[in-house]
């Protein structure tokens, strides 16, 4: 049973290698193979839910710990908790959808395209379940390479600029993280193992001076913040999104951005709690600027993909805000919002891709009245758009509500400013919908706008089902998340408490969190 996770990690790699062996001139075989492989991987990955089904285990499931390199001590150590579980499932769900949506869109170099998609899946799954920091870094970098090629080879006009910018931004951040990882290895007495480092931190065997804790925190945080992306490190994102092929945009927005927020949640907060509390005000300020700035910039975009890209900056701001409220509600909301954003923004990119395949334009002004010739597409877009706006009964509402609740508990002003972002998101999304789907359709547009076909429905329907399911029955997903985040929160709080006495008196709200007063989401 413990091998299930290893199988889920290994299968995309095996599929990638097999895909490379397929004949180059038979796109049909390659597509079918990629689809079959990714669906099989998804079905197998569903088995990961089993231990979380009836009661949620505290701690880790599916743990495997094997020696990889003796010196320095590097292990192949993987395991999942409630947060990793859903992010892995998000990855495995979106990969077959990406294969399916590229069916007609990719017209050249099929073999390499689907191979890179599978390699990307391998890297992403690895990132979400690595316990060994070194292994985490390895997967982190591996996922960079296929995305670079996806943007660079199959992207639009400015793809080369976008691909290189994407690679260099991430690389610059991740080398700092590598330095921090090595430093931590030495400080921890020779281990990259996250669990072991946490045990040593809690047992007081690994003491970091407040200065080095701050530097380590920043080194990790900058790497993650570039990936999230947090304002003002976001400038690579619109370029990468706009130039990437649809499948690339979907994977980038839905899963790759979560690598950053996942990293913050998993590593930055529990390992360096003092520094996290110390920087929280600054980071939250940047997150709120990102929320409002992203929404405002999205509003004036003439290009649909750019609009969705900037809306991502805004939505990811919510996630960062939720994490740095240090409340149960905020963290739950942040994790839930990661999944929501993955589903709904993925769906938005997918639908924009469908529009683009029909009309060969991403400019909003090229559309108008699409609802007349393509009612199915319009309905799908409407549900997705409303989900993205945060309409109750759809998924984003739950996440945003929890984040705002957490923010209000910590500092009411944060909640007020963040809520402005929710209102603005309704503005730009509804306006987009109005300009694209309402109004009078030109004959030219009617001619080139067939409704969704069966394949396209197969892409979008699972996502719409998920939007409704996650919006109405959040209890299907929440318990594993809450168990994991409460564990992380407890670690964050407990260690702050231990160190607070040796530091100069902290500000009041931090002390309250530190003593665990709000650990369960409401004041005691």
Positions that interact with other proteins (CB under 8 A): 69-72, 109, 137-138, 141-142, 144-145, 148-149, 152-153, 159-160, 163-164, 167-168, 171-172, 175-176, 178-179, 182-183, 185-186
Least distance (Å) between residue 164 CB and other proteins: 6
Structure tokens at 361: 């334009």
Least Å distance, CB 193 to other proteins, is: 16
Least Å from the CB of residue 14 to other proteins: 16
Residue closer to other proteins by CB (options 116, 417) is 116
User: For the range 112-117, what are the long-range contacts, defined as Cβ-Cβ under 8 Å and sequence gap of 24 or more?
Assistant: 112/149, 112/153, 113/150, 113/153, 113/154, 113/247, 114/19, 114/30, 114/31, 114/33, 114/34, 115/16, 115/19, 115/20, 116/146, 116/149, 116/150, 117/34, 117/38, 117/146, 117/150, 117/247, 117/251
* Nearer to other proteins (CB atom), residue 182 or residue 214: 182
Tokens of 427: 């503005």
Among 139, 165, 171, which residue's Cα sits nearest to residue 152?
165
Cα end-to-end distance, the chain, whole Å: 41
Q: Cβ of residue 279: shortest distance to other proteins, in angstroms?
A: 19
Among 373, 355, 351, residue whose Cα is nearest residue 457 = 351
Q: How far is the CB of 171 from other proteins (least distance, A)?
A: 5
Closer to other proteins by CB, 111 or 315: give it: 111
Map residue 368 onto helix, strand or coil.
Answer: coil
Nearer to other proteins, 42 or 122 (CB): 122
Which two three-digit tokens encode residue 509?
């709200």
Nearer to other proteins, 123 or 480 (CB): 123
Q: Closest CB to other proteins among 184 and 313? A: 184
Cα separation of 483 and 486, whole Å? 5
User: From the CB of 108, what's the least distance to other proteins, in Å?
Assistant: 9
H or E element that contains 316: helix 304-323
Q: What are phi and psi of 74, to 5 degrees?
A: -120, 130
State in angstroms the smallest separation of the CB of 192 from other proteins: 11
What are the beta bridge partners of residue 235?
none
Asked if residue 351 lies in contact with residue 382, where contact means CB atoms within 8 angstroms, the answer is no
C-beta of 60 vs 156, nearer to other proteins: 156
The smaller minimum CB distance to other proteins, of residues 184 and 269, is found at: 184
* Contact status, residue 112 vs residue 31, Cβ threshold 8 Å: no
Least distance from other proteins to the Cβ atom of residue 523, Å: 42
Give the phi and the psi of residue 156 in degrees, each rounded to 5.
Answer: -90, -155
Please report, for residues 100, 298, 320, 415, 419, the alpha-carbon distance to residue 284 in angstroms, rounded to integers and kept in the order given. Answer: 38, 21, 7, 11, 14
Q: Cβ of residue 488: shortest distance to other proteins, in angstroms?
A: 26
CB of 507 to other proteins, least distance (A): 30
Please, which residue, 177 or 418, has the CB nearer to other proteins? 177
- Asked if residues 79 and 129 have their Cβ atoms less than 8 Å apart, the reply is yes
Minimum CB distance to other proteins smaller for 170 or for 486: 170
Query: ∠ CA(333), CA(166), CA(277), 5° rounding?
Result: 40
Helix axes 375-389, 395-410, angle to 10 degrees: 10
**Shortest approach of other proteins to residue 78 CB, angstroms?**
16
Nearest alpha-carbon partner for 167 in 150, 148, 143: 148
Cα–Cα dist 92/86, whole Å? 10
167 vs 354, beta carbon nearer other proteins: 167
Shortest distance in whole angstroms from residue 260 CB to other proteins: 17
Helix, strand or coil for residue 68? Answer: strand
């Amino acid at each position: 049973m413990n091998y299930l996770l290893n199988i889920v990690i290994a299968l995309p790699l095996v599929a990638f290698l097999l895909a490379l062996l397929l004949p180059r001139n038979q796109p049909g075989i390659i597509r079918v193979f990629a689809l079959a492989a990714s669906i099989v991987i998804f079905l197998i990955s569903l088995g990961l839910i089993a231990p979380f089904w009836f009661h949620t285990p505290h701690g880790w499931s599916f743990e495997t710990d094997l020696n990889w390199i003796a010196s320095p001590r590097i292990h192949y150590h993987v395991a999942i908790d409630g947060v990793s579980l859903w992010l892995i499932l998000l990855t495995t769900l979106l990969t077959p959808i990406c294969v399916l949506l590229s069916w007609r869109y990719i017209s050249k170099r099929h073999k390499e395209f689907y191979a890179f998609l599978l390699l990307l899946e391998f890297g992403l799954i690895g990132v979400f379940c690595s316990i060994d920091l070194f292994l985490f870094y390895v997967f982190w970098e591996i996922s960079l390479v296929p995305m670079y090629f996806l943007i660079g080879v199959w992207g639009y006009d400015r793809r080369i600029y976008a691909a290189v910018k994407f690679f260099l931004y991430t690389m610059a951040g991740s080398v700092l993280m590598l330095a921090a990882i090595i430093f931590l290895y030495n400080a921890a007495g020779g281990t990259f193992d996250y669990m072991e480092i946490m045990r040593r931190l809690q047992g007081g065997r690994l003491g970091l001076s407040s200065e080095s804790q701050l530097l380590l925190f920043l080194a990790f945080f900058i790497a993650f913040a570039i990936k999230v992306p947090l304002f003002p490190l976001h400038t690579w994102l619109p370029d990468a999104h706009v130039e990437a092929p649809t499948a690339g945009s979907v994977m980038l927005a839905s899963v790759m951005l979560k690598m950053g927020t996942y990293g913050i949640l998993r590593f930055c907060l529990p390992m360096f709690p003092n520094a996290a509390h110390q920087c929280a005000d600054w980071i939250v300020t940047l997150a709120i600027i990102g929320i409002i700035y992203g929404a405002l910039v999205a509003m004036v975009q003439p290009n649909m993909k750019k609009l969705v890209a900037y809306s991502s900056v805004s939505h990811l701001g919510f996630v960062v805000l939720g994490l740095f409220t240090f409340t149960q509600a905020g963290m739950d909301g942040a994790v839930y919002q990661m999944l929501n954003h993955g589903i709904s923004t993925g769906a938005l990119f997918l639908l924009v891709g469908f529009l683009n395949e029909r009309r060969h334009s991403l400019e909003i002004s090229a559309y108008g009245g699409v609802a007349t010739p393509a009612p199915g597409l319009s309905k799908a877009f409407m549900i997705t758009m409303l989900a993205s706006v945060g309409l109750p009964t759809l998924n984003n509402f739950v996440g945003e509500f929890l984040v705002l609740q957490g923010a209000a508990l910590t500092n009411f002003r944060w909640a007020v400013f963040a809520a402005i972002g929710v209102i603005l998101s309704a503005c730009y999304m509804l306006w987009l919908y109005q300009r694209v789907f309402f109004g009078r359709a030109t004959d030219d547009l009617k001619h080139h706008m067939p409704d969704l076909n069966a394949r396209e429905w197969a892409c979008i329907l699972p996502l719409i089902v998920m939007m409704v399911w996650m919006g109405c029955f959040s209890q299907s997903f929440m318990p594993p998340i809450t168990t994991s985040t409460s564990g992380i929160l407890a670690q964050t709080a407990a260690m702050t408490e231990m160190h607070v006495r040796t530091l100069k008196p902290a500000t009041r709200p931090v002390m309250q969190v530190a003593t665990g007063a709000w650990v369960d989401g409401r004041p005691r």
